[in-house]
Amino acid sequence: MENNHLIWDEKSRKDRFKNRIFTIQERVCVSPEGREGIFSVMDCRDWAIVIPLLDAPAGKEEASGSFVMVRQWRHGSRSLSLEFPGGVCEPGEAPEAAAARELSEETAYTPGRILKLGEMSPNPAIMTNRVHFFLADSLRDTGSRNLDADEYVDVEIVPTDTVIRNMGKPPYIHSLMAAALMLYMRTGTGC
């Protein structure tokens, strides 16, 4: 590898805090020049985000359809956010299965088809996990959601062009949703 001069070697790690969502680790690492540093890292499980696409109504060929989205309170920003469904991959659960499960739990929709759009590191500076992005279509409404005890979520059907036009402005404030939307638009479906 020609970039070896940039790689730090991990000497040790110690868990400093742990909850059901993540573990904060203190990692002692040695720079390429031999200098030792201490770094805090969040060890998290992978996440899955799914973009649920409802087809445009018949006779409306110019319409590009709508997204099924969820509005919920975000404690970090202390604000409401309108987002694509998603959540943590359970231990041993494939990201695609997590995406379908989260879609069903949060919105009552199940996908007829699910397609992986890509994956990214949410914040490689301090986080260990990956976020997996999916597109779901041929949706079927089961009429039954299964929210977690601490989930308070409203389901909203939003035209795709509204989301594209407003991403980055309240209530479309979650940066991972912007990444998901970019991957969706790259498919050509959203252009």
Encode burial over 172-191: b for 16+ CB neighbours within 10 A, e otherwise: bbbebbebbbebbeeeebbe
Confidence at residue 62, expressed as pLDDT on a 0 to 100 scale? 46
Partners of residue 120 on adjacent β-strands: 131
Confidence at residue 128, expressed as pLDDT on a 0 to 100 scale? 97
Summarised one tens digit per residue, pLDDT across range 81-98 is 999 999 999 999 999 999
Q: SS3 for 147? A: coil
Provide φ and ψ at 98, rounded to 5°. -65, -40
Which residue numbers in the chain have pLDDT < 70? Answer: 1, 56-63, 189-191
Architecture of domain 45-186: Alpha-Beta Complex (3.90)
- Per-domain residue ranges for the chain? 4-43, 45-186
